[in-house]
Amino acid sequence: MIVKDVNQEREQWGSKVGFILAAAGSAVGLGNLWKFPYVAGKNGGGAFVLVYFIILFLVGFTLMLAEIALGRHTQLNAIGAYRKLREKWAFVGGLGVLAAFMLLSFYSVVGGWVINYVIKSVTGGLNVSDPEVLGNMFGEFVANRWTPIIYHAIFMLLTLLIVLGGVGGGIEKASKIMMPALFGFIILLAVRAVTLPGGIEGVKYLLVPDFSKINMEVILSALGQVFFSLSLGMGCMITYGSYLGKDTNIPESAVIIPLCDTAIALLAGLAVLPAVFAFGFEPAAGPGLIFVTLPAVFSQMPLGNLFAIMFFILVLFAALTSSISLLEVCVAYVVDEWGWNRKLTTWTLAGLIFAIGVPASLSMGPWADIHLLGDRGFFDTYDYIVSNWLLPLGGLLLCIFVGWIWGTDAAIKEVTNNGTLEFKLRGLWVFLIKYVGPVAILVVFVRSLT
Ligand code: PHE
């Protein structure tokens, strides 16, 4: 039986907190943990954080509100939401589903690496203080033909098992366990790092403003970071918003979710940078930071093994709460629009996404010489298409759609629960979604292509 019972009610979040935790879980991910600390430190510390906050408010909050409103209003997946309001705009939702599909395929490869490092930290395999040795260990691991694919499969399987449980029983329940744990771990790690002798240098790197470093490029990278970090532009928040009841306070959620995300990003900075500086390392970008530099740091810290385990579990939780939102975007589409049942849909999509991710994994080693776009292999090509094309395009079209096509009056009606809720920032929000959002995103988009 693959045809859905049409009388079946759409599932809803069990509670307001459940929704916030799930949405914040989608937002908090690898972007917060391995990108934010490094990008912030490099680009002027506190000055970058300030710019980030301004953009968070101007664009992050604005688009978050728009996506959630679109989802709750239509009670549909990303494609269905656009289609229900304007048939011709369904393709924008399509870009989102495609983006989620592609992003998950390589996000899961990295998720697999994280699982491997959880195991390594538990079995003592990371008790190495020489970053060169750790670098080689990481390099050899990802370049392996089969091992990373097996871990990629395990990560996909975990994602699938949660999504199979449904919205309330799967996603919400998992988020309610993983998010508080993640929060607790990151606070412990931050306190430990900041109190290390010499740790203060890392705090300074992150927070002391150097305004001379702020230029157009830095502002653009802050915008890109806000976008990715808040899971905007690919219909995640439309999908999660579609499971909301009509009585929730959307403006409040659209403020709380970005604040949670930023709090975790800042805490990640405080957990990572002081530790890196205290042991005389240089903060590296991306995977190098969490898979090479940090294990070296932990191995020299008292009780370092414990902190390493805690750290990799927290990274895993962050990655999983994001990956389930990506899978849900795709699942919701197929269930809503094609009428498939949830179980079959979830297994099929997870299988396809896994398969698409295999070349991304292989491109780290055996297929390193295969180039698709320019000198990019599979992994980098997926990343490039999603981050430089699909996300900005999805965000831009979202602004235009909500600001000009569906219209801000209709959106505000939804956001204020038919005028019964106060929405103090409405005038500002209208201006932001109609003008500031589209222009800002357009500038980033054009820049990233040149
Ligand atoms: N926000 C997630 C992160 O920071 C990534 C993500 C993007 C997840 C878009 C879902 C949708 O890692």
- Whether 7 is covered by a domain: the verdict is no
**Beta carbons of 265 and 187 less than 8 angstroms apart:** no
**What pLDDT does residue 449 have?**
74
Ligand 1 atom at minimum distance from 236 CA: 11
Q: Which atom of ligand 1 is nearest to the CA of 30?
A: 12
| DSSP for residue 87 | G
Expressed in angstroms and rounded, the spacing between residue 259 Cα and the centre of ligand 1 is 15
**ipTM exceeding the 0.95 mark:** yes
Give the pLDDT confidence score for residue 4 in this predicted structure.
Answer: 46
Atom in ligand 1 nearest the alpha carbon of residue 230 = 1
42 in a domain, yes or no? Answer: yes
| Arithmetic mean of pLDDT over the chain | 93
Report how far Cα 221 is from the mean position of its chain's Cα atoms.
16
- Give residue 6 CA to ligand 1 midpoint distance, Å: 32
Q: Is residue 129 part of a domain?
A: yes
Buried b (16+ CB within 10 A) or exposed e, 222-233: bbbbbbbbbbbb
Can you give the length of the chain in residues? 450
Query: Percent of the chain beyond pLDDT 90?
Result: 81
Q: What is the pLDDT of residues 206-255, one digit of tens each?
A: 999 999 988 888 888 888 889 899 999 999 999 999 999 998 999 999 99
Distance in angstroms (rounded) separating the CA atoms of residues 450 and 440: 16
For residue 315, report the distance from its CA to the centre of ligand 1, in Å: 13
CATH code of the domain containing 180: 1.10.4160
**Residue 268 domain-assigned?**
yes
Cα dihedral value 72, 388, 440, 206, nearest 10 = 100
How far away, in angstroms, is 300 Cα from ligand 1 center?
Answer: 32
Give the structural domain span for 145. Answer: 16-448
* pLDDT number for residue 221: 84
Residues 6 or more apart whose CB falls under 8 angstroms from that of 351 comprise none
Question: Which of 26, 97, 109, 398 has the most ligand 1 atoms within 8 A of CB, as the residue to mutate?
Answer: 26
CA of 132 to the centre of ligand 1 (A): 30
241: nearest Cα among 72, 110, 395, 355: 72
The ligand 1 atom at the shortest distance from the C-alpha of residue 29 is: 12
* Full-model pTM: 0.95
Task: Determine the 3-state secondary structure of 15 from DSSP.
Answer: coil
- What's the whole-number mean pLDDT along residues 307-336? 97
Positive or negative CA dihedral for 79, 82, 88, 92? negative
Are 318 and 33 in contact by the 8 Å Cβ rule? The answer is yes
Residue type, 311: F
- The least confident of 214-218, 301-305, 359-363, 389-393 is 214-218
- What residue's CA is closest to ligand 1, atom 11? 231
| 250 contacts: CB under 8 Å, gap ≥ 6 | 65, 68, 69, 72, 241, 244, 414, 415
pLDDT for res 3: 46
Query: With 70 as the cut, is the pLDDT of residue 433 above it?
Result: yes
Is 9 a member of any domain?
no
Residue 147 Cα to ligand 1 midpoint, Å, equals 25
- Counting ligand 1 atoms within 8 A of each CB, the residue from 238, 322, 330 with the most, and so the one to mutate, is 322
Q: What local confidence, expressed as pLDDT, does residue 220 receive? A: 83
Residue 5 lies in a domain: no
Atom 9 of ligand 1: nearest residue by CA position? 231
Compute the distance between CA of residue 164 and CA of residue 61 in angstroms, rounded to an integer: 30
The protein residue whose alpha carbon is closest to atom 3 in ligand 1 is: 29
DSSP code for 61: I
CA of residue 321 to ligand 1 center, whole Å: 9
Q: How confident is the model at residue 281 (pLDDT cuts 50, 70, 90)?
A: confident
Asked if the structure places residue 89 within a domain, the reply is: yes
Residue 7 binned pLDDT confidence (cut-offs 50, 70, 90): very low
Q: Which amino acid is at 32?
A: N
Q: Based on the structure, what is the number of domains in the chain?
A: 1
Which residues have C-beta within 8 Å of that of residue 363, sequence separation ≥ 6? 370, 377, 378, 379, 380
Distance between CA 291 and CA 295 in Å, rounded?
7
| pLDDT tens sequence across 62-118 | 999 999 999 999 999 999 999 999 999 999 999 999 999 999 999 999 999 999 999
Residues with CB under 6 A from ligand 1: 26-27, 29-32, 228-229, 231, 234, 236, 322, 325-326
CB 23 within 8 A of CB 171: no
3-state secondary structure of 283: coil
